[in-house]
């Protein structure tokens, strides 16, 4: 199993550009999530999904969109990048919504100039 | 809403010495508690978790943690630190749902030879 994979590893954007961060898992997990990690703030939940076709907002959803057309994939879209979105982004998956271990991808380091 | 405090931003210990990383949480009911480790450039890996039962929890890589309800703490310990333990450690608290999980800001561990 590859586990949770994320692409790209690094990305530099200019303010106003859009892009999609890719996330895929091969563990048949129903629950997937996106976090951002900022220095001194730990991880904060952006969006999550409890299954194909079902998504919801987390703690910091503004400026991001998600969709879940398949169980395996959960892309995160930045609609119009801003410097405040400079961060490290982690995708995670879990067997279910309730109290199970989350498996994390290696992260995408995004810089917005 | 739940919250997590990791009072120590950075800790340095000598190889072979014992380690204790502190975690305090705020939550109204019995929490789900987790410790994750993040090696440089990697995603987060679960070290151990507490849901219920025995308050002393054993994890991977020789780590353990003790849940103390009276002190709202879930400190991570290791009797003898190895150079490979150098990493960032995150405590997290959740309700029954993964989307309610809150992460601490992290403690960076440096191991001196």
pLDDT tens track for B57-78: 999 999 999 999 999 999 999 9
Q: Which residues does residue A53 pair with via DSSP β-bridges, in sequence order?
A: none
With beta carbons under 8 A apart, name residues in chain B contacting A33.
98-99
Task: Copy the structure tokens of residue B95.
Answer: 């309700």
Q: Does A53 touch chain B (CB under 8 A)?
A: no
Q: How far apart are the first and last CA of chain B?
A: 41
Flag whether pLDDT at B43 surpasses 80: yes
pLDDT tens track for A53-66: 999 999 999 999 99
**Contact predicate A74/A66, CB 8 Å:** yes
Contacts across the A-B interface (CB distance below 8 Å): 62
Q: Which residue has the tokens 């990048």?
A: A81
Measured CA distances, A97 to A8, A10, A89, B96, B104 (Å): 26, 29, 20, 8, 20
Instruction: Report residue A99's pLDDT band, with 50, 70 and 90 as the boundaries.
Output: low
Flag whether pLDDT at A52 surpasses 80: yes
Q: Does A42 touch chain B (CB under 8 A)?
A: yes
Pick from A102-111, B7-16, B94-103: least confident: B94-103
Q: Which of A48, A56, A90 sits opposite B43 (nearest CB)?
A: A90
**Contact predicate A92/A104, CB 8 Å:** yes
The pLDDT of residue A2 is 82
CA distance B113 to B109: 13
The pLDDT of residue B19 is 97
The pLDDT of residue B30 is 77
Instruction: Report residue A98's pLDDT band, with 50, 70 and 90 as the boundaries.
Output: confident
């Amino acid at each position: 199993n590859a586990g949770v994979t994320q692409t790209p590893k690094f990305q530099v954007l200019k303010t106003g550009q859009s892009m999609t961060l890719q996330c895929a898992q091969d563990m048949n997990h129903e629950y997937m999530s996106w976090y951002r990690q900022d220095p001194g703030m730990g991880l904060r939940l952006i969006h999550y999904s409890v299954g194909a076709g079902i998504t919801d907002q987390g703690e910091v959803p503004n400026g991001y969109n998600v969709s879940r057309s398949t169980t395996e994939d959960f892309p995160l879209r930045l609609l119009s990048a801003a410097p405040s979105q400079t961060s490290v982004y982690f995708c995670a998956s879990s067997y279910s919504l309730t109290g199970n271990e989350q498996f994390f991808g290696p992260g995408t380091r995004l810089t917005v100039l | 809403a739940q919250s997590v405090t990791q009072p120590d931003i950075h800790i340095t210990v000598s190889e072979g010495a014992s380690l204790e990383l502190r975690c305090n949480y705020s939550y109204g009911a019995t929490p789900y508690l987790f410790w994750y480790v993040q090696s440089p450039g990697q995603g987060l890996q679960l070290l151990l978790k507490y849901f219920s039962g025995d308050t002393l929890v054993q994890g991977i890589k020789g780590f353990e943690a003790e849940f103390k309800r009276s002190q709202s703490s879930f400190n991570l310990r290791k009797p003898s630190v190895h150079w490979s333990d150098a990493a960032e450690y995150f405590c997290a608290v959740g309700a029954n749902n993964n989307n309610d999980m809150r992460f601490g800001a992290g403690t960076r561990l440096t191991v001196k030879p």
